[in-house]
Amino acid sequence: MNLNGKVLALTSDNDAKMVSCGNLMLCEFEEIYEGCDFHHYRCAAHILNLAINHGMELKAPIIDKVRNFVNKIVIQQNFVMNYEIIAKK
């Protein structure tokens, strides 16, 4: 395959199995092919997506509490408006 002096790379998600695979490939390429430059990159978009989803999970209870509070206010305002309409009749 004439990989000596070539650059090889693996891009994967941040799964532990993929990280292990990248480390295993690095060791094997270093043993078999002299001068082969191998790099394992974790996909930045995937890592960013995981971080955002984790942050949203942390904020979800707070968002739910605020949403419930606002809904109660809206329901009470509608009740008061309806009561005022009935009271004026």
pLDDT of residue 34: 74
Its domain, for residue 22, covers 1-42
Residue at 83 is within a domain: no
- Euclidean distance between CA atoms 26 and 36, whole angstroms: 9
**Do the Cβ atoms of 21 and 12 come closer than 8 Å?**
yes
Residue at 82 is within a domain: no
Query: In the 3-class helix/strand/coil scheme, how is 30-56 assigned residue by residue?
Result: HHHCCCCEEEEEECHHHHHHHHHHHHH
Residue at 54 is within a domain: no
Residue at 65 is within a domain: no
pLDDT of residue 1: 60
pLDDT of residue 39: 85
Residue at 13 is within a domain: yes
User: How many structural domains is the chain composed of?
Assistant: 1
Q: What angle do CA 53, 55, 57 make, to 5 degrees?
A: 70
Each residue's pLDDT, cut to its tens digit, for the chain (89 residues) gives 666 667 688 888 888 898 899 889 888 888 887 777 888 888 888 888 888 888 877 777 788 888 899 988 888 888 877 777 777 77
pLDDT of residue 4: 64
